[in-house]
Structure 1
Amino acid sequence: MTVLFRHLFLSLFLLSSIGWAAGEPQTPEEAKQQIQALQKDLKKLNSWLKDIKSERSDVEKQLEGKEKDIQELLKKIQSIQESLKKGEKQLGELRVQQRSLQLSIQQQNEQIAAQLRAVYRSGNEESIKLLLNGDSSEDAERLVQYNRYFSNARQSLINGFVTEVSDLNLVEKSIRSHRAQQAKEETELVAERNRLTSQQADRRDLLAKLDKDLATGDKRAKQLVQDQKNLQDMLQRLEEALADIQIPDQDVPFSSQRGKLISPLKKLSELSTNGSINLGGVTLRAKEGEPIHAIFSGRVVFSDWMRGFGFLLILDHGDGYMSLYGYNQSLLKEVGEWVGANDTVAMAGSTGGRPDTALFFAIRHNGTPLKPLSWVRAG
């Protein structure tokens, strides 16, 4: 099993490290082969996770499925909200353009009307003068050229007027289209939120069943020990797999950042320890959907649901340092992705069977748990 893990993460790290050592894949075929190799190794990881998950009860399996459904709904709702926000911005820009065109058309309309009145008056006066004074043909020709010049200028003004009217029609058509799309997305958003409410109610029912199954303190304690053992086992495998993999040099090493790291939450308020000296994690108060931030730059080496910890994300920071973030409502990064310090990597939640919203937070170095709160700045 350790060999599979080592192969998986070596492939994963080497694939995305090609840019540092040997440049990008030389051909599309090489890139395709690398991706296929990575996908094959990811299947091996999933197989190991399935072995762990097969030991759980039916209610626990249902809980995982429900929490994953909720995560997908939340992502869809967020996507719709972002689309609505973008659409509202575009609609605002179109309305500004509409007002500008309307004003320009009004001004051109007034200019054309004023010119027509002036030409009418001027034309009549000059014609009468020619008849009464008997001016020469040269004067008459000059008057014709003068009128032709202003006629061309008027025509240019009229052409611009017609173009802007056409532009205005297109803008107003686009506004109507944007409004229709927004109405559709708002309807979809309401439907998805209703689905989310229903799924969350189902999750509460599952939690109640799980609590009933674990009514005895002895059974609950055994599950807690098993959950911690599973996580400890996985961390050991990860640490062994990552031991020989070099992360590109950081501008500032993780080891020098004690007390200076970014806080994972805006405010740090400890609920309790996780109940395990070996893991050394803490449980922090959080608001549902609150952004969870990476404490330092690193690579995502785990991003999945795990019993007892819900949606769990693990970052490798190099030099044997890792940080863990659990109980999340949803995970925003996938295995293999690079993140920067303060990047949002997850949204706070209560997955994994927790009754309230919180964040499980831990830092490890070469397999040894550290006191995580002593490494981060106050939120």
Structure 2
Amino acid sequence: MKTITGILGLCLLLALPAQADDQARLDALKAEISKLESWLRNAQQESGQLNAALRQSDLEIAELTKQINAIRTQLTEEQARLKKLRQEQGQLRDLQQQHRQHLAEQIRAAQKMGQQGPLKLLLNQDDPQQAQRMLRYFSYFNSARIERINQILAELARLDNLAALIAASEQQLQRSEQELITSNRQLQQRKQQQQQLLAKLQGEMKTEQQRLQQKETDRKRLEQLLTEVANLLDNSPRQLDARPISSLKGRLPPPLRTAVLQAFGSQRRDGGGRHEGWLLAAREGDYVRAVHHGRVVFADWLRGFGLILILDHGQGYLSLYAHNQALLRDVGSWVNQGDIISSAGRSGGNTEASLYFEIRHRGRPQDPALWLKR
């Protein structure tokens, strides 16, 4: 703020006529400078509050998104269990029908045998002992088959009860999912209102210099973060795969297979310098994938970048993924190439969904076009 005051004061003093010693005019200029400083302080304070509210909204939306994903996974598992149970029920009912048919055949045979009478059956046999054995076999098989049918009925009853429990669980999960979706929608609406207020405030901040300074502050904060991460990882244990990332230059898969909206070195749309990575087109919720094996060293909200995740790939190489809707990996976790690490979004105050991606080597930005396979 002192720098702004000095520059404004110098410009105004140079614009004064020769009678610059006019104390009244000097006092008026000082009053104008003081008024401008006060306005800028208030605007910055309000901007900080809105950024804090945006951060909270982004984090809440990210948590709800993770919960919705978890519930949908549970739903898929429950539906698979229910499908398997119904298949088992169908097989048991088929087996029950077969046993019923066999039992009916044996009953009809026994009825025929009863019409002849046991004595007549014995007399009709050349071997009376063989006839007696046949009678015992009929009795034994009938009893065994009836017992098996009862077992099947008991198993079917158990499966029916279990299926009812799973169906009830499925309905509860669906209700929970709907409640979370409703909460998410309300949060999105609140976030939209916050973004509109922030956009209005930024429109009232009349000097591009003020915005540029803010962007440079964000950039310096990120540079400091990356330096701290690199220093932190110098002596950390590694579990990186055998192929170093440096040997895969030009062959890494992109984090999103979408169009490049703004390339490396292009002028930022907001006038805050040049891009040190790629801005990729995205739909909100698109899964973002790791370009190479590595470890998550940062996963949090950062002003100007929203929800951001940074991977360490060894050899001083880092990859950065910003403006996410949700971060799906925690700090310290290891990922393989192609693993889902986040979902794309609009965090950080963006009005449209996108993914900002960088590759850095020992803190220096690299052109993704030299690394990614398109």
Shorter chain as denominator, the TM-score bin is: 0.7 to 0.9
CA deviation profile, 1:34-84 (whole Å, cap 9, x unmatched): xxxxxxxxxxxxxxxxxxxx9971111111011111111111111111111
1:197 aligns with 2:185: yes
Instruction: Give the partner amino acid of 2:135.
Output: N
Aligned position for 1:26: none
CA deviation profile, 1:258-314 (whole Å, cap 9, x unmatched): 110121002242335573778712211111111111111011110111111111000
Give, in whole Å, the separation in 1 of the partners of 2:47 and 2:257: 34
Give, in whole Å, the separation in 2 of the partners of 1:274 and 1:335: 32
Aligned position for 1:229: 220
The one of 242, 255, 260 aligned to 1:264: 255
The answer to which of 266-275 and 169-178 deviates more is 266-275
Aligned position for 1:13: none
The one of 306, 309, 315 aligned to 2:305: 309
User: Would you say the 8 A contact 1:282–1:360 is kept in 2?
Assistant: yes
Aligned position for 2:153: 165
Query: Structure 2, unaligned stretches of length 5 or more?
Result: 1-44
Instruction: Report the count of equivalent residues.
Output: 322
- How far 1:372 sits from its partner (Å)? 1.4
Give runs of aligned pairs for residues 127-276 of structure 1, distance below 5 A. Answer: 127=118, 129=120, 139=128, 142-215=130-203, 216=205, 217-245=208-236, 247-248=238-239, 250-271=241-262, 273=266, 275=268
Q: Secondary structure at the match of 1:289?
A: coil
Instruction: Give the partner amino acid of 2:294.
Output: G
CA deviation profile, 1:314-372 (whole Å, cap 9, x unmatched): 01111111100000000011111111111111100110111110011001111211101
Instruction: Give the partner amino acid of 1:68.
Output: L
Give, in whole Å, the separation in 2 of the partners of 1:330 and 1:248: 25
Aligned position for 1:15: none
Q: Secondary structure at the match of 2:226?
A: helix
User: Would you say the 8 A contact 1:314–1:325 is kept in 2?
Assistant: yes
Larger radius of gyration: 2
CA RMSD of aligned residues (A): 2.4
Query: Structure 1, unaligned stretches of length 5 or more?
Result: 1-53
Instruction: Give the partner amino acid of 2:183.
Output: R
Give, in whole Å, the separation in 2 of the partners of 1:357 and 1:319: 32
Give runs of aligned pairs for residues 260-339 of structure 1, distance below 5 A. Answer: 260-271=251-262, 273=266, 275=268, 280-339=276-335
> Equivalent pairs: percent with the same residue?
30
Give, in whole Å, the separation in 2 of the partners of 1:315 and 1:134: 90
Give, in whole Å, the separation in 2 of the partners of 1:129 and 1:356: 94
Normalised to the residue count of structure 2, the TM-score between the two structures is: 0.80
Aligned position for 1:80: 71
CA deviation profile, 1:173-227 (whole Å, cap 9, x unmatched): 1111111111111111111111111000000011111112211334332322221
CA deviation profile, 1:75-127 (whole Å, cap 9, x unmatched): 11111111111111111111111111111111111110110110121233153
Aligned position for 2:112: 121
User: Structure 2 vs 1, CA of residues 72 and 135 (structure 1 numbering), >3 Å: closer, same or farther?
Assistant: closer
User: Would you say the 8 A contact 1:98–1:168 is kept in 2?
Assistant: yes
User: Structure 2 vs 1, CA of residues 129 and 260 (structure 1 numbering), >3 Å: closer, same or farther?
Assistant: same
User: Would you say the 8 A contact 1:274–1:282 is kept in 2?
Assistant: no
User: Structure 2 vs 1, CA of residues 214 and 146 (structure 1 numbering), >3 Å: closer, same or farther?
Assistant: same
Aligned position for 1:42: none
Aligned position for 2:371: 375
The one of 315, 340, 346 aligned to 2:342: 346
User: Structure 2 vs 1, CA of residues 258 and 135 (structure 1 numbering), >3 Å: closer, same or farther?
Assistant: closer
Instruction: Give the partner amino acid of 1:115.
Output: Q
User: Structure 2 vs 1, CA of residues 246 and 97 (structure 1 numbering), >3 Å: closer, same or farther?
Assistant: closer
